[in-house]
Chain A
Amino acid sequence: MSTQLEEQLLAAPYLALDAPLAVEILTAALKEEVEKAGFRKVVLGLSGGIDSALSLYLAVRAFGKDNVIAVCMPYRTSSASSLTDAEEAISDTGVQSLKVDISPQIDAYFEFMPDATSLRKGNKMARERMTILYDLSAHFGALVIGTSNRTELLLGYGTQFGDSASAVNPLGDLYKTQVRQLSKFIGVPRSILEKAPSADLWEDQTDEKELGFSYFDVDRLLYHLLDRRLTKEQLLEQGFSNPLIEQVTQRITRNQYKRRMPLILKISNRTVGVDFRYLRDWGL
């Protein structure tokens, strides 16, 4: 996988970041955004996957291991290797950690909904984890750090108000391929780097199987579509298939709602978010 990553970055050099510089900027900005909001500690969910691992390693660089709390929140069907991988990252970084088994509350709820689809269950689990992180945030006086990368934000491959919720998200401007590159650079354990990405909602699930395309393919497409602003004709000339272009552009459009706050129906002259415009960092 590491050599596969190197091959990918050679084939698509435009996806390669200056890793030391990117880590330097992300670490400095993460530290500043958290500290000026009045916090010294951060808390984040650790799934055993590469995204939350990278967020963890960045947080440790920014705040030191004593100010980072990693929370593992497995469900009874979560794969055992996910937990092992998360534990390896915890012992490697030396951060404080805790494990919260979410099976009792999830099962209690779905007892009355036996026919719920796995999508509904997965979303419920993601939101359950979010409420735990926000409660622990208050408990520890620690801000919640996000783990959603740019690829999944654009594709809408995440749960609204679930894994997408956080105070600061250091990964939101990194394509999945770039998450892999920075993870390798920053020293995320090999077992995490090399396994297939999975939301781990059911057995043998992988993101790429569920999405129907590989992250490398979609990252290259997203780069040409968004960063280079190529037209559809130009994308076809570049060799991207019509079904992939269609599927991805539809996903981006259809999931725009996940990237925005709820709509406010306008009545006043200064509506929150419309013509009442301030940065979050107001006065910070």
Chain B
Amino acid sequence: MRVGLAQFRPTLGDLQRNLDLHLDWIEKAKQNQVELLLFPELSLTGYSLLDLTYDVGRSVYSEEISKLVARSESLDIVFGFVELSEDHVLYNSTLYASKGKIVHIHRKVYLPTYGMFDEGRYFGRGEVLRSFPTQFGQMGILICEDMWHSSTPYLLAQDGAQMILVPSNSPARSLDQNEVGSQSFWYANLENQAALGGLFILFCNRVGTEDGVSFYGGSAIVNPYGDEVARANRLEEQLLCADIDLDEVRRSRFETPLLRDENLDLTIRELTRIRQRRLEQKRWT
């Protein structure tokens, strides 16, 4: 299958313009015979929305979202937006659309609220992590910070995912030698988790700046052996395309059957014990 990552530059808070940009990138992807197109986190809105979050929130049934979902007739599209729920909670969500229909929505579970990040101030926390079936196989979505918790790719791998989609907005900071600090950490993380879970990971990061903060791009595709198959340029817009062979999931798992050997009962037992201990500690302190 041919996957495409739309490493682009959204305009902060301009839903209409970003919608048009999405349509352009979808056209470009079609011309490149892309079958699955992944956009970055919050691709319809931009990242540091602050109070704009309230203005750009949209229901999954809204005109803008429906318009984009309808474009998934000939290729699957995965994009990010501020989801306004029926009970008026805003979520940092990513939607998977195929054949003109919504297949899955993931609400970001881990909202970074420290240092330069302030997501917890505006967004409600997602409470569900699920893999879901697609025409290409079982997939899972983790949005940026979600991927920085080892429990999340673990759960998706256990839940049957053969591919994890990771839309991100990762900023350039702490410039050590040769690479942006957060960037080298990202690749190490992606490569490890892909190999440990025996699955593909697609990391789509945006470019552009918001109030002096640069997003570095460098989107990447990692195979189930933990090897980087393709990487996009730094700081530049780019449609990163790659042909990937999903049968590599089978071959890598035959070679290194980590998933087969995983002891789910042990994990659950120990986690239950740890949770119980924490509850008891809370009671007495």
Assembly CA distance A18 to B12 (angstroms): 29
Query: How many A residues, CB 8 Å from partner?
Result: 21
Known: A18-B175, A25-B214, A25-B235. A281 touches B12 (CB 8 A): yes
Q: Which residues of B contact A277 (CB under 8 A)?
A: 50-51
Segment at the A interface, from B35-43, B65-73, B176-184: B176-184
Within 37-76 of B, Cβ neighbours of A (below 8 Å) are at 48, 50-52
Per-position 1/0 for A6-24, Cβ under 8 A of B: 0000000000111001101
Q: How far is the CB of B267 from chain A (nearest CB, A)?
A: 34
Given contacts A18-B176, A25-B235, A283-B14, contact A33 B212 (CB under 8 A): yes
B210 contacts partner chain A, Cβ-Cβ < 8 Å: yes
Q: Which residues of A contact B245 (CB under 8 A)?
A: none
Residue of chain B at shortest CB distance from A31: B209
Q: Could you tell me if A32 and B12 are in contact, using CB atoms closer than 8 angstroms?
A: no
Quick check: is A112 within 8 A (CB to CB) of the other chain? no
Given A278-B50, A278-B51, A282-B13, are A22 and B175 neighbors across the interface (CB < 8 Å)?
yes
Contacts of A24 in B (CB 8 A): 234-235
Give 19 A-B contacts (CB < 8 Å), ordered by A residue: A16-B177, A18-B175, A18-B176, A18-B179, A21-B175, A21-B180, A24-B234, A24-B235, A25-B175, A32-B209, A33-B209, A168-B212, A277-B51, A278-B50, A278-B51, A278-B52, A279-B210, A281-B211, A284-B11
Given contacts A18-B176, A21-B180, contact A281 B210 (CB under 8 A): yes
B4 on the interface (CB 8 Å rule)? no
- Asked if B12 and A284 make an inter-chain contact with CB atoms under 8 angstroms apart, the answer reads yes
B103: interface (CB < 8 Å): no
Q: Does A29 reach chain B (CB closer than 8 Å)?
A: yes
A281 CB, nearest partner CB in chain B, Å:
5
Residues of B153-210 whose CB lies within 8 A of A: 172, 175-180, 208-210
Q: Does A266 contact B (CB under 8 A)?
A: no
Docked CA distance A280–B52 (Å): 12
Contact with B along A265-284 (1 / 0, CB 8 A): 00000000000111111111
Instruction: Name the contact of B172 in the complex, choosing from A25, A280, A282, A284 (C-beta under 8 A).
Output: A25
The verdict on A119 contacting chain B, using a C-beta distance below 8 Å, is no
Query: Which residues from B are CB-within-8-Å of A279?
Result: 12, 48, 50, 210-211
Q: Tell me, rounded to whole Å, the shortest Cβ–Cβ distance linking A116 to chain B.
A: 36
Q: Is the CB of B13 within 8 A of A283?
A: yes
- A32 and B13 contact, CB distance less than 8 A: no
Question: Are A21 and B13 in contact, with the CB atoms below 8 A?
Answer: no
B interface residues, tally (CB under 8 Å): 24
A residues near B234, Cβ cutoff 8 Å: 24
Query: Given the complex, which residues of A lie within 8 Å of B11, measured CB to CB?
Result: 283-284
Complex partner residue of B209 from A21, A22, A29, A282, CB under 8 angstroms = A29
B209 contacts across to A, CB distance below 8 A = 28-29, 32-33, 281
Contact partners of A282 in chain B: CB under 8 A: 12-13, 52
Chain A hits for B216, CB < 8 A: 25
Give the docked Cα–Cα distance between A16 and B212 (Å).
Answer: 21
Residues of A near B177 (CB, < 8 A) are 16, 18
Q: Which of A21, A22, A29, A278 contacts B212 (CB 8 A)?
A: A29
Check B214 against A21 for contact (C-beta < 8 Å).
Answer: no
Q: How far is the CB of A267 from chain B (nearest CB, A)?
A: 18
**Which residue on A lies nearest to B14, using beta carbons?**
A283
Contact B214 A28 (CB under 8 A): yes
Report A-chain residues with C-beta under 8 Å of the C-beta of B12. 279, 281-284
**Which residues does chain B contribute within 8 Å of A280, judged by CB atoms?**
211
Residue among A17, A18, A281, A284 with the most chain B CB within 10 A? A281
CA distance in complex: A278, B54 (Å): 11
Q: Can you name 19 extra interface pairs (CB under 8 A) apart from A278-B50, A279-B12, A283-B13?
A: A16-B177, A18-B175, A18-B179, A22-B175, A24-B234, A25-B172, A25-B214, A25-B216, A29-B212, A29-B214, A279-B50, A279-B211, A281-B209, A281-B211, A282-B13, A282-B52, A283-B11, A283-B12, A284-B12
